């Protein structure tokens, strides 16, 4: 759906451009979800947004693709993934009239943040922790697994470590099997078959819950759980909606609302409330969380639900930490 | 004589030109099938490649690696070697050059830049020599070995860049090597753009490679081996050494392309491997009909396509994979000039088919 | 010890190895039919990708994985026909032609995935059902490995024997091998070399197309750009490693996919800190060693790669 | 052109190399399409579009270069294309017994289960003939069938040919050897440059007549030369052992010496180790044992390049594979051995004016017919290509020349020229090792004749004492 919905009520069409990293839009992960935020904003006729994306194929494309939007006088440019960090900061400094949104990057520590740049940072360890806490309570075998994307991508690691710590928090006896996908170019975040086989291996080791973290690769893990009648936990978005094929095994999803965050950033611009700096999405501001239990709502005991609500409250309040340092 | 000359013009200019046009026509069909207007799409492609702000400079930036890589593959073709490994050599060359460039400090640019370049070329050369050596010593077909070595090189790159204590920069949030010193950087030659000295170097590589092939004894040796290993051997030319040398030269050019990309554009390397340069390089060399001068327009075309693709996607939201369709179609028409001949009734066009695979497979040379 | 065994879980290891070897074996046998008749096929990757895409696309719109399967095979045959036309009739260098198809496949699947499938978030057509073979599937060890699979894996297992039989026991196989070794001799024996090569190239497309269906219709129930991820090249390696025989290719594929699985297990179950990159190199390095003749020279059909010109 | 072949006859087709004999027969066998004209068979006009059409008519052909598939068995090769099969599945047992039966009937002794790669050339030829008979051939075309046979094997073949004709078949027998024609032919057609110049019989025309018809002018069938005046030992081979590609011993403890000013000819049926011997002497193939001495210096470890520079010269047996680079220019080919030495190169840069000057000189001296030195060698006729190879070797004034099949595939005029060059260089002190499968060439050119059989030099005979019969027997291993 690329036709801009410029209704008559729009005095100005806000042009929002998104630049992917080399993972491309089809990754069912960072790029896909971020662009969904742009598309959602476009679909929202009250915002008068027209969104476009450019996919990068090599690293040196990043500055250039950002430049394409700059040249077209876009109002806002969204860059996805920490790999575009350097290029984004540089472009932001050079183009103070354009708003920049950086997804998954918050490394402004030694740079003064340009006033037109906002970084979206997610505490993935928190929903990971919560998902782990749930898994720890629901596992019957005391073995759970996580099938993850690249270890070199920090959010992936945050999710997994949070998951592991969360599970041990509610169930000290639990054993967590985890595997990260080996780097291989085209298959990064895009190898569901591999993810599926890893999950199957974990079932052989007694696991009964799989957390799939890492785009299509993680989705493979979910699929395996569905086929083998095990439980599974989705990631990033409520996968009950985004990946209905596996709804029957999905107990919940560890959510980081990339799409909502991106849409929020766009909305602040449209409404004139854009603020630069770091937007941290965490439990405390409901920026991350756990998706509904959906089909499992009736199968999960009230006791478990209460415990999870308790953990969530404590994370919110900061009275417990996930033990994950980023 | 005049007829022969005209024949040459037809094969070296007209056939590639018509092929490019045909390739775009096929691409247009795909665009229509994908629900967009080919005129709009190609208009955007053109604008993105040439007329937008800085577009031409960016096209030249994209052209730069294709020059080195296209020359690398073309050089191999001339010796009858099918180097599918340009991509791997590109990475290994980048790694070696980057390592040297960020490790050295305090030297003036006139020293540091050449050291980086030399290390990059040496890395590519060594990596390519593996395939060359295996062919010379054991008769292992270079197509298979270079394909396999490509994958190995990706994994080597990922290992080196992702591992603490190796090439991973300390205190960075993304896996990448440290940045090279400013004194190792190839300076920008067009203010306000990213166009850097590396482009000039890559341009200069064209006549250098041409001279090497056509005017030097090395080039003669290489062509003799490419045409007839048996005759070359009987004339006392060491086929094995020539194969290794050719692969090394080819790899050096690919490594050159890699390190120039680092020193001119990125200043560091990441573990991200998704370029597909190796295949593009073959396409460039085929389009150039293995002639170094032909690499010039061919690389320019590929640079323009690569650069224009972004704006085309911006305007039409067609996947940039469309470029692959155009490229593949162009190669089809170049490699099968018969089709062009039919289409345009250039019946007299003495468009011989491109032949790369060796005429004779000799026993391993010891 | 028992702990080690239960951690190793050999039955599941072997079962997964067999499953993940499926597309490798199929594509390798496709490459084999092709190369045995004298045509190099480095287009396996592109053919599989096309098969995966078309198979899924058709299944998506018809709601039938079986129609999708047929489409995957037919599309593989069609794109292989392009390889045949270019390399046999137009005498295009076979490696160039194969490479073109790989690039083309990325382009076509990428563009049309974006246009027609990417935003579809409804439930897909699903995957082939799991079929347990009565009686046999109950055998310990053997049963779970061989007789509790899905269609493409069963087809692969059967096709190993079919292809072996065709190549080495039938008239067609003899003629195929003749065309790959000495096409001129075959022609003087009254064989239409072009016909034999065309049919074999197209057959290779059918096999690789079926291999493509493994990805989208057997394992995932979805299509993703580039989802074959270079397995076509590993299949090529398996074909060489297996010395151009179906059983050899089967063994090589098991070795490659097995090393992959063992590598993962070392990380996830045994926590052995071997960098995964090194394990990932195994198939490629093994292939290089084999091509270099260290494990007995792999002898390709003599005429493979050389376009045949009549007269 | 016209050609009439009758049943129960051996029809010899005679002509120089390149006269068009093979081309004509390829048309008859459906491998090539005629541009004009027609073919009748058994009085019917027929159109032969493919070998299959030819086979259906009962035409069989044994090609000059055998059409056998080395890794397949005899039976598989014979039945290929006409398999005995049961619903697509080959009946190899049935095929074997069919082959056995046929080989019994015509006295063609072969084992159907053996792989072609393991057979001798003579046996392979029998397989080829069986192949044709298996397909029901009534007209059998034999394209230069004797080129690879010993005189004794030739007699065996002739017996088979006569048996075939006696059964009512017809045989077209292609050759350019006059003696064979007299022995076997009932009718002779002589071709020259693609045209029939005469149809005659052995009784009507003598060998000299036939030779004149072939070439278009009287030919000297013998080489004129003075007796040799051998000097010092130039090339010596001691206890040389060389392996072939399959790692079998191809040259077995060979001792040989060639003195300055003499021509030593090596006679032997092809495939008895000649190529391996030559390649080992040139450093193109590793030696397994023994020594090679050039003017008393051991060169066994030297590279080909340094051997060439030290005064060895080579005319390789296979012009297209080893002699010339077809795609390069005449000038480039003339400096192929010395392209990187002064004056043809300074440092790494080639010196084109020096190369051209040198090339023009050689072209004139060796009478190479070219338009200009820059034209590619592929545009030269075979004879001129061979003259180019000879010019390149002799142009560097070597001390020893290894001439392997120096006149193969070359027209008579060029043969004369090349022979004269070799002899005159000998007279100036060149040592020549001549390897040829043409016994006549060896006998007429050599001063001493060495006979090679299965990798052994079985005899070295002075040219005066060497007669066809004796050498032929030695070549067959009857020592
Ligand atoms: N279509 C063609 N047009 C022109 N010349 C051709 C054509 N086909 C073959 N020739 C040439 O015709 C000549 C006849 O070749 P052919 O092989 O028939 O000779 P031959 O008499 O069998 O010689 P040999 O004794 O060497 O076998 C060769 O020079 C060949 O290159
Ligand atoms: N298929 C062909 N089509 C056209 N021309 C051909 C073909 N084959 C060979 N020729 C040309 O025919 C000419 C004769 O070739 P060939 O080597 O057979 O000559 P030849 O009759 O043996 O001559 P020579 O007496 O010098 O040995 C050459 O100029 C060659 O380029
Ligand atoms: Mg002939
Ligand atoms: Mg000739």
What are the Cα distances from residue A152, in Å, to A37, A81, D438? 25, 12, 73
A209 closest CA partner among A255, A240, A177: A177
Q: Can you tell me the distance from the alpha carbon of C35 to that of B64, in angstroms, rounded to the nearest whole number?
A: 37
How big is chain B, counted in residues?
Answer: 366
Q: Whose CA is nearest to atom 24 of ligand 1?
A: D17
In angstroms, what separates the C-alpha of A22 from chain B's closest C-alpha?
7
DSSP B12: I
Q: Can you tell me the distance from the alpha carbon of C278 to that of B197, in angstroms, rounded to the nearest whole number?
A: 37
Give residue D192's pLDDT.
Answer: 80
Say whether pLDDT at B347 is over 60: no
CB-defined contacts A:B, below 8 A: 88
Report residue C193's pLDDT band, with 50, 70 and 90 as the boundaries: very high
CA–centroid distance for B136 within its chain: 23
**Who surrounds ion ligand 3 at CB < 5 A?**
D 22, 64
Give residue B319's pLDDT.
Answer: 86
Highest mean pLDDT among A110-119, C27-36, C118-127, C129-138: C27-36
Q: Could you tell me the two tokens for D162?
A: 């006569």
Q: Whose CA is nearest to atom 1 of ligand 2?
A: C311
Segment 230-249 of chain B within 8 Å of chain D by CB: 230-238
C226 closest CA partner among A164, A44, A296, A28: A28
Residue B8 within any structural domain of the chain? no
Say whether pLDDT at B4 is over 50: yes
Q: Collect all residues of chain C within an 8 Å Cβ-Cβ radius of residue A186.
A: 226, 229-230
Residue B266 within any structural domain of the chain? yes
**Are A54 and B313 an interchain contact pair (Cβ–Cβ within 8 Å)?**
yes
**Are C222 and A245 an interchain contact pair (Cβ–Cβ within 8 Å)?**
yes
**Are C124 and A245 an interchain contact pair (Cβ–Cβ within 8 Å)?**
yes
Query: Which of D315, D321, D352 is the best residue to mutate to test the B interface, defined by the most B CB atoms within 10 Å of its own CB?
Result: D321
Segment B247-262 mean pLDDT? 96
- D457-464 long-range contacts (CB < 8 A, ≥24 apart) are D457/D254, D457/D255, D457/D256, D457/D266, D460/D256, D463/D265
Which member of B152, B317, B318 has the closest CB to residue C284?
B152
For CA atoms B39, B44, B50, B53, the dihedral sign is positive
**Are B217 and D314 an interchain contact pair (Cβ–Cβ within 8 Å)?**
no
Give B58: exposed, middle or buried? Use CB within 10 Å, 0-12, 13-18, 19+. Answer: buried
**Are B151 and C230 an interchain contact pair (Cβ–Cβ within 8 Å)?**
yes
Residue D160 contacts residue D110 (beta carbons within 8 Å): no
pTM for this predicted structure: 0.87
Q: Could you tell me the two tokens for D258?
A: 């060639």
Whether a cis peptide bond, with omega within 30° of 0, leads into D367 is no
Q: How many CB atoms lie within 10 A of CB B332?
A: 26
Range in A160-169, B117-126, D160-169, D176-185 the model is least confident about: D176-185
C277 → chain B, closest CA residue:
B155
Q: Can you tell me the distance from the alpha carbon of B249 to that of D144, in angstroms, rounded to the nearest whole number?
A: 47
A74 → chain B, closest CA residue:
B314
Give residue A21's pLDDT.
Answer: 86
Give residue B279's pLDDT.
Answer: 82
Q: How far is the CA of D16 from the centre of ligand 4 (A)?
A: 8
Q: Can you tell me the distance from the alpha carbon of C211 to that of C220, in angstroms, rounded to the nearest whole number?
A: 13
Residue C194 contacts residue C89 (beta carbons within 8 Å): yes
Give the mean pLDDT of chain C: 89
C284 → chain B, closest CA residue:
B148
Q: Collect all residues of chain C within an 8 Å Cβ-Cβ radius of residue D63.
A: 188
Q: How far is the CA of D445 from the centre of ligand 4 (A)?
A: 21
User: What is the fold of D10-215?
Assistant: Rossmann fold (3.40.50)
Give residue B357's pLDDT.
Answer: 39
Q: Can you tell me the distance from the alpha carbon of D279 to that of D240, in angstroms, rounded to the nearest whole number?
A: 12
Q: How far is the CA of D222 from the centre of ligand 1 (A)?
A: 26
B274 closest CA partner among C229, A292, D360, C254: C229
Q: Can you tell me the distance from the alpha carbon of A15 to that of A72, in angstroms, rounded to the nearest whole number?
A: 9
Does domain C8-129+149-294 fall under CATH 1.20.1730.10? My reply is: no
Probe ligand 2: pick from D382, D388, D413, D418, max atoms within 8 Å of CB? D382
Helices B15-33, B277-287: axis angle to 10 degrees equals 140
> Could you read off the pLDDT tens digit of each residue along chain D, which spans 479 residues?
677 777 888 998 887 766 778 888 888 888 888 777 778 887 788 888 888 888 888 999 998 778 899 899 999 999 998 888 888 888 888 888 888 888 887 777 788 888 998 887 778 888 998 888 888 888 999 988 887 777 677 888 888 888 888 888 899 988 877 778 888 889 888 888 778 888 888 888 877 787 777 767 665 556 778 888 888 999 999 999 999 887 888 999 999 999 999 999 999 877 789 999 999 999 999 999 999 999 999 998 999 999 999 999 999 988 888 999 999 999 999 999 999 988 999 989 999 999 999 999 999 999 898 889 999 998 887 788 999 999 999 998 899 999 999 988 777 778 888 999 999 999 999 999 999 877 888 988 999 999 998 899 999 999 888 887 788 788 877 65
The β-bridge relationship of strands D431-436 and D263-267 is: parallel
Probe ligand 1: pick from D20, D29, D141, D196, max atoms within 8 Å of CB? D20
- DSSP string for D437-458: S-HHHHHHH-SEEEEEETTEEE
Segment B135-151 mean pLDDT? 89
**Are C277 and B286 an interchain contact pair (Cβ–Cβ within 8 Å)?**
no
Q: How far is the CA of C281 from the centre of ligand 2 (A)?
A: 52
Give residue D82's pLDDT.
Answer: 86
For CA atoms D126, D131, D136, D139, the dihedral sign is negative
Ligand sitting nearest the alpha carbon of D370: 2
**Are B234 and D325 an interchain contact pair (Cβ–Cβ within 8 Å)?**
no
3-state secondary structure of D193: coil
CA–centroid distance for C30 within its chain: 6
Residue C217 contacts residue C209 (beta carbons within 8 Å): no
Q: Can you tell me the distance from the alpha carbon of C118 to that of A35, in angstroms, rounded to the nearest whole number?
A: 12
Range in A78-87, B164-173, C71-80, C250-259 the model is least confident about: B164-173
Report residue B2's pLDDT band, with 50, 70 and 90 as the boundaries: low
Tell whether ligand 1 has an atom less than 6 A from the beta carbon of residue D381: no
Write a three-state SS string for chain C: CHHHHHHHCHHHHHHHHHHHHHHHHHHHHHHHHHHHCCCCCCCHHHHHHHHHHHHHHHHHHHCCHHHHHHHHHHHHHHHHHHHHHHHHHCCCCHHHHHHHHHHHHHHHHHHHHHHHHCCCCCCCCCCCCEEECCCHHHCCCHHHHHCEEEHHHHHHHHHHHHHHHHHHHEHHHHHHHHHHHCHHHHHHCCCCHHHHHHHHHHHHHHHHHHHHHHHHHHHHCCCCCCCCCCHHHHHHHHHHHCCCCHHHHHHHHHHHHHHHHHHHHHHHCCCCCCCHHHHHHHHHHHHHHHHCCCCCCCCCCCCCCCCCCCC
- Write phi, then psi, for D199 (nearest 5 degrees): -125, 125
| List of chains touching B (3+ CB pairs within 8 A) | A, C, D
Tell whether ligand 1 has an atom less than 6 A from the beta carbon of residue D15: yes
Percent of chain C with pLDDT over 70: 96
Tell whether ligand 1 has an atom less than 6 A from the beta carbon of residue D18: yes
3-state secondary structure of B16: helix
Give residue A150's pLDDT.
Answer: 86
Give residue B273's pLDDT.
Answer: 63
Report residue B241's pLDDT band, with 50, 70 and 90 as the boundaries: very high
In the Cβ-directed half-sphere of C62, how many Cα atoms lie within 13 Å? Answer: 14
- Write phi, then psi, for B187 (nearest 5 degrees): -65, 150
Residues paired with D39 in a beta bridge: D46
Domain boundary assignment for chain D: 10-215, 233-475
In angstroms, what separates the C-alpha of D322 from chain B's closest C-alpha?
4
Q: Whose CA is nearest to atom 18 of ligand 2?
A: D18
Report residue B365's pLDDT band, with 50, 70 and 90 as the boundaries: very low
Complex prediction ipTM: 0.85
CA–centroid distance for B111 within its chain: 26
**Are B228 and D324 an interchain contact pair (Cβ–Cβ within 8 Å)?**
yes
DSSP B363: P
Residue B133 contacts residue B125 (beta carbons within 8 Å): no
Q: Can you tell me the distance from the alpha carbon of C116 to that of B318, in angstroms, rounded to the nearest whole number?
A: 11
Tell whether ligand 1 has an atom less than 6 A from the beta carbon of residue D407: no
D10-215 against D233-475: fold identical: yes
Say whether pLDDT at C4 is over 60: yes
Residue-number span of the structural domain to which B245 is assigned? 55-307
In angstroms, what separates the C-alpha of B174 from chain A's closest C-alpha?
6
Which residues have C-beta within 8 Å of that of residue B214, sequence separation ≥ 6? none
pLDDT per position as a tens digit, C285-311: 888 887 887 655 657 888 888 888 875
Q: How far is the CA of B160 from the centre of ligand 3 (A)?
A: 61
Q: How many domains does chain B have?
A: 1
Which member of B34, B140, B156 has the closest CB to residue C291?
B140
**Are D328 and B227 an interchain contact pair (Cβ–Cβ within 8 Å)?**
yes
Q: CATH code for D233-475?
A: 3.40.50.300
Instruction: List helix spans (H) across D288-379.
Output: 304-309, 330-334, 352-365
Tell whether ligand 1 has an atom less than 6 A from the beta carbon of residue D410: no
Q: Could you tell me the two tokens for D132?
A: 């044709």
Percent of chain A with pLDDT over 70: 95
Segment 115-134 of chain C within 8 Å of chain B by CB: 115
Range in A82-86, C46-50, D145-149 the model is least confident about: D145-149
Q: How far is the CA of D193 from the centre of ligand 1 (A)?
A: 9
Q: Can you tell me the distance from the alpha carbon of C43 to that of A160, in angstroms, rounded to the nearest whole number?
A: 38
Q: Can you tell me the distance from the alpha carbon of D23 to that of D41, in angstroms, rounded to the nearest whole number?
A: 18
**Are D314 and B234 an interchain contact pair (Cβ–Cβ within 8 Å)?**
yes
pLDDT per position as a tens digit, C129-173: 889 888 888 888 888 888 888 999 999 999 999 999 999 999 999
Give residue B350's pLDDT.
Answer: 40
Residue B325 within any structural domain of the chain? no
Q: How far is the CA of D174 from the centre of ligand 3 (A)?
A: 8
Segment C39-48 mean pLDDT? 94
Q: Collect all residues of chain B within an 8 Å Cβ-Cβ radius of residue D318.
A: 230
Q: Could you tell me the two tokens for B157?
A: 């790159």
Give residue B363's pLDDT.
Answer: 33
Tell whether ligand 1 has an atom less than 6 A from the beta carbon of residue D409: yes
Range in A29-43, A101-115, A139-153, B291-305 the model is least confident about: A101-115
Segment A231-236 mean pLDDT? 94
Chains C and A share 3 or more Cβ pairs within 8 Å:
yes
Residue A153 contacts residue B162 (beta carbons within 8 Å): no
D135 → chain C, closest CA residue:
C189
Query: Which of A17, A67, A72 is the best residue to mutate to test the B interface, defined by the most B CB atoms within 10 Å of its own CB?
Result: A67
- Write phi, then psi, for B84 (nearest 5 degrees): -85, -5
Tell whether ligand 2 has an atom less than 6 A from the beta carbon of residue D26: no
Q: Whose CA is nearest to atom 26 of ligand 2?
A: D383
D433 closest CA partner among D225, D238, D262, D241: D262
Say whether pLDDT at B257 is over 90: yes
Q: Can you tell me the distance from the alpha carbon of C39 to that of D216, in angstroms, rounded to the nearest whole number?
A: 46
Q: Can you tell me the distance from the alpha carbon of B162 to that of A151, in angstroms, rounded to the nearest whole number?
A: 9
In angstroms, what separates the C-alpha of B280 from chain A's closest C-alpha?
13
């Amino acid at each position: 759906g690329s036709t801009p919905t410029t209704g008559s009520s729009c005095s100005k069409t806000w042009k929002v451009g998104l630049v992917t990293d080399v993972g491309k839009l089809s990754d069912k992960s960072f790029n896909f979800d971020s662009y969904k935020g742009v598309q959602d904003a476009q679909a929202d006729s009250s915002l008068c947004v027209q969104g476009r994306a450019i996919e990068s194929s090599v690293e040196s494309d990043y500055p250039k693709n950002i430049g394409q939007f700059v040249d077209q006088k876009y109002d806002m440019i969204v860059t996805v993934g920490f790999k575009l960090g350097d290029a984004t900061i540089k472009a932001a400094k050079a183009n103070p009239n354009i708003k920049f949104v950086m997804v998954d990057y918050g490394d402004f520590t030694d740079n003064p943040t340009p006033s037109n740049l906002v970084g979206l940072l997610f505490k993935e360890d928190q929903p990971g922790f919560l998902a782990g806490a749930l898994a720890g309570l629901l596992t019957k075998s005391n073995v759970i697994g996580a099938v993850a994307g690249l270890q070199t991508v920090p959010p992936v690691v945050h999710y997994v470590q949070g998951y592991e710590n969360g599970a041990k928090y509610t169930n000290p006896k639990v054993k967590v099997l985890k595997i990260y996908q080996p780097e291989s170019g085209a298959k990064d975040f895009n190898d569901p078959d591999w993810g599926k086989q890893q999950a199957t291996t974990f079932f052989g080791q007694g696991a009964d819950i799989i957390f799939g973290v890492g785009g299509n690769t993680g989705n493979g893990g979910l699929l395996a759980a569905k086929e083998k009648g095990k439980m599974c936990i989705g990631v990033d978005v409520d996968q009950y909606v985004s990946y209905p094929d596996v709804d029957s095994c999905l107990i919940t999803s560890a959510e980081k609302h990339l799409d909502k965050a991106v849409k929020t950033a766009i909305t602040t611009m449209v409404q004139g409330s854009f603020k630069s700096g770091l937007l941290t999405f965490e439990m405390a501001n409901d920026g991350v969380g756990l998706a509904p239990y959906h089909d499992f709502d009736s199968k999960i005991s009230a006791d478990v639900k209460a415990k999870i609500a308790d953990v969530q409250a404590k994370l919110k309040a900061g009275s417990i930490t996930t033990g994950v340092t980023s | 004589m005049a007829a022969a000359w005209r024949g040459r013009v037809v094969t070296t200019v007209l056939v590639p030109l018509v092929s490019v046009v045909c390739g775009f026509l096929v691409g247009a069909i795909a665009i229509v099938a994908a629900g967009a207007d080919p005129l709009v799409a190609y208009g955007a492609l053109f604008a993105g490649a040439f007329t937008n702000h800085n577009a031409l400079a960016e096209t030249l930036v994209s052209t730069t690696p294709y020059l080195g890589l296209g020359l690398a593959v073309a050089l191999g073709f001339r010796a009858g070697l099918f180097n599918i490994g340009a991509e791997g050599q590109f990475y290994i060359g980048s790694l070696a050059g980057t390592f040297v460039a960020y490790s050295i400090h305090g030297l003036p640019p006139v020293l540091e830049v050449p050291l980086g370049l030399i290390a990059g070329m040496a890395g590519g050369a060594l990596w390519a020599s593996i395939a060359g050596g295996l062919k010379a010593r054991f008769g292992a077909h270079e197509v298979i070995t270079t394909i396999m070595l490509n994958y190995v090189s990706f994994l080597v790159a990922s290992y080196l860049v992702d591992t603490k204590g190796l090439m991973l920069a300390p205190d960075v949030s993304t896996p990448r090597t440290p940045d090279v010193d400013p004194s190792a950087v190839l300076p920008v030659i067009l203010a306000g753009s990213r166009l850097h000295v590396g482009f000039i170097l890559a341009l200069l590589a064209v006549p250098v490679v041409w001279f090497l092939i056509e005017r030097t004894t090395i080039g003669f040796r290489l062509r003799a081996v490419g045409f007839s290993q048996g005759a070359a051997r009987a004339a006392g030319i060491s086929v094995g050494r020539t194969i290794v040398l050719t692969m090394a030269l080819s790899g050096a050019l690919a490594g050159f392309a890699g390190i120039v990309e680092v020193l001119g554009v990125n200043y560091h390397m990441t573990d991200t491997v998704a370029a597909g340069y190796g295949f593009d390089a073959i396409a460039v060399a085929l389009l150039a009909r293995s002639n170094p001068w032909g690499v010039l327009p061919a690389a320019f075309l590929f640079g323009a396509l690569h650069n224009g693709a972004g704006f085309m996607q911006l305007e039409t939201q067609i996947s940039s994979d469309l470029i692959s369709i155009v490229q593949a179609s162009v190669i089809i028409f170049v490699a099968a000039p018969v089709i062009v001949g039919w289409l345009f009734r250039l019946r007299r066009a003495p468009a011989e088919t491109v032949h790369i695979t060796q005429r004779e497979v000799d026993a391993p040379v010891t | 010890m028992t702990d080690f065994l239960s951690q190793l879980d050999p039955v599941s290891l072997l079962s997964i190895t067999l499953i993940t070897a499926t597309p490798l074996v199929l594509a390798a046998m496709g490459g084999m039919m092709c190369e045995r008749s004298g045509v190099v096929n480095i287009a396996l990757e592109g053919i599989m990708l096309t098969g995966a895409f078309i198979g899924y696309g058709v299944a998506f719109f018809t709601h039938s994985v079986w129609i999708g399967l047929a489409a995957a095979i037919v599309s593989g045959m069609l794109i292989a026909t392009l390889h045949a036309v270019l390399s046999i009739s137009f005498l295009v260098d076979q490696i160039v032609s194969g490479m073109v198809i790989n690039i083309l496949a990325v382009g076509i699947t990428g563009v049309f995935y974006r246009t027609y499938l990417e935003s579809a978030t409804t439930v897909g057509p699903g995957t082939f059902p799991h079929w347990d073979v009565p009686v046999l599937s109950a055998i310990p060890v053997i049963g779970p490995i061989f007789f509790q699979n899905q269609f493409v894996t069963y087809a692969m297992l059967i096709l190993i024997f079919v292809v072996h039989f065709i190549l080495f026991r039938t008239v067609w196989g003899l003629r195929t091998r003749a065309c790959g070794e000495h096409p001129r001799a075959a022609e003087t024996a009254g064989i239409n070399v072009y016909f034999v090569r065309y049919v074999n190239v197209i057959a290779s497309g059918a096999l690789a197309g079926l291999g493509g269906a493994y990805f989208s219709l057997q394992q995932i129930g979805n299509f993703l750009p580039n989802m074959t991820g270079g397995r076509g090249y590993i299949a090529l390696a398996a074909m060489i490693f297996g010395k151009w025989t179906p059983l050899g290719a089967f063994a090589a594929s098991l070795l490659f996919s097995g090393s992959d699985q063992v590598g993962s297990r070392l990380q996830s179950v045994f926590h052995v800190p071997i960098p995964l990159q090194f394990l990932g190199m195994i198939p490629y390095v093994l292939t290089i060693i084999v091509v270099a003749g260290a494990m007995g020279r792999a002898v390709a059909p003599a005429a493979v790669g050389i376009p045949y010109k009549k007269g | 052109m016209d050609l009439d072949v009758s049943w129960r006859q051996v029809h010899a087709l005679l002509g120089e190399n390149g006269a068009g004999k093979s081309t004509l027969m390829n048309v008859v066998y459906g491998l090539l399409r005629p541009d004009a004209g027609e073919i009748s068979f058994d009085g019917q006009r027929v159109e032969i579009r493919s070998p299959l059409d030819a086979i259906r008519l009962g035409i069989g052909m044994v090609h000059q270069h055998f059409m056998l598939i080395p890794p397949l068995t005899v039976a598989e090769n014979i039945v290929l294309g006409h398999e005995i099969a049961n619903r697509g599945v080959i009946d190899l047992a049935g095929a074997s017994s069919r082959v056995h039966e046929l080989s019994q009937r015509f006295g063609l002794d072969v084992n159907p289960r053996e792989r072609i790669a393991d057979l001798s050339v003579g046996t392979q030829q029998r397989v080829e003939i069986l192949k044709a008979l298996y397909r029901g051939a009534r007209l059998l075309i034999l394209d230069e069938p004797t080129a690879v046979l010993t005189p004794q094997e030739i007699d065996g073949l002739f017996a088979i040919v006569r048996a075939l004709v006696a059964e009512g078949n017809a045989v077209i027998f292609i050759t350019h050897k006059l003696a064979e024609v007299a022995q076997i032919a009932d009718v002779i057609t002589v071709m020259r440059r693609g045209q029939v110049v005469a149809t005659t019989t052995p009784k009507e025309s003598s060998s000299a007549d036939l030779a004149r018809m072939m070439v278009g002018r009287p030919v000297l069938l013998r080489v004129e030369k003075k007796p040799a005046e051998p000097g010092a030992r130039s090339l010596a081979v001691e206890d040389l052992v060389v392996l072939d590609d399959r790692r079998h011993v191809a040259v077995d403890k060979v001792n040989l010496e060639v003195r300055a000013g003499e021509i030593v000819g090596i006679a032997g049926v092809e495939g008895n180790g000649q190529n391996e011997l030559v390649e080992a002497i040139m450093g193109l193939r590793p030696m397994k044992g023994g020594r090679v001495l050039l003017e008393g210096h051991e060169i066994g470890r030297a590279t080909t390049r340094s051997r060439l520079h030290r005064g060895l010269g080579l005319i390789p047996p296979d012009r297209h594979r080893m002699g010339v680079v077809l795609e390069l220019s005449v000038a480039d080919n003339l400096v192929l051995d010395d392209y990187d030495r002064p004056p043809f190169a300074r440092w790494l840069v080639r010196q084109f004016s020096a190369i051209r000057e040198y090339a023009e000189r050689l072209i004139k001296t060796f009478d190479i017919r070219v338009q200009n030195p820059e034209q590619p060698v592929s545009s030269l006729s075979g004879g001129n290509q061979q003259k180019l190879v000879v010019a390149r070797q002799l142009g560097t004034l070597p001390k020893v020349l290894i001439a392997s099949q120096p006149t193969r595939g070359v027209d008579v005029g060029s043969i004369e020229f090349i022979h004269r060059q070799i002899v005159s260089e000998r007279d100036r002190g060149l040592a020549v090792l001549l390897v040829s499968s043409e016994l006549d060439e060896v006998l007429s050119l050599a001063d001493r004749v060495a006979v090679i059989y299965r990798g052994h030099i079985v005899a070295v005979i002075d040219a005066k004492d060497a007669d066809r019969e004796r050498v032929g027997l030695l070549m067959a291993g009857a020592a």
